[in-house]
Structure 1
Amino acid sequence: MIDRVAFDDDARVLSVSFKQTGKYLYNEVPATIFEALCKASSAGAFFNEQIKGRFQCRRDPERRRFGPNA
């Protein structure tokens, strides 16, 4: 489900790259959530329980889109 994650401490923005749907940015995420995500035995399960629907998110505006619907 999740390909990679990154965190900007200063902006408190969590970047999550999903294997199927691309990269999303989650705002006002505490560093403790990022740390727990990195240590979780299942990143996907942790994401669904602790992040999804709890933080404002948006698709990464820097993401390049490819394909017929780009």
Structure 2
Amino acid sequence: MPHFNSTAISRAEYNPKTRVLSLWFADVGGPCDYYRVPLFVYEGLCRAGSKRDYFKTYIHDQYATR
């Protein structure tokens, strides 16, 4: 599970079998789970220069969460 040097997201975990993306936010902790997330979205987050911008554009309000 990668740890990020980001002011927004500190850590991410992805389960390819269930397609659940778990995120730990720097300000509130976690995990916060996002469901039915394709692998390429997780990979994009890992590569993104700005985790916050990527999250806002490609994950937030795009996938069911709890």
TM-score where L is the length of structure 1 = 0.80
* Displacement of 1:21: 1.6
Structure 2: 5+ residue stretches without partners? 1-7
Matched with 1:68 is none
Q: Equivalent residues in 2 for 1:1-70 (5 A)?
A: 1-23=8-30, 24-58=32-66
In 2, Cα distance between equivalents of 1:19 and 1:37: 15
In 1, Cα distance between equivalents of 2:56 and 2:28: 15
Structure 1 runs, 4 residues or longer, greater than 4 Å off: none
Number of matched pairs? 58
Amino acid at match of 1:34: Y
In 1, Cα distance between equivalents of 2:39 and 2:15: 9
* Displacement of 1:37: 0.5
In 2, Cα distance between equivalents of 1:22 and 1:53: 19
**Cα deviation code 1:26-50 (max 9, x no counterpart):** 0000000000110001111100000
In 1, Cα distance between equivalents of 2:43 and 2:10: 16
% identical aligned pairs: 33
In terms of Rg, which structure is larger?
1
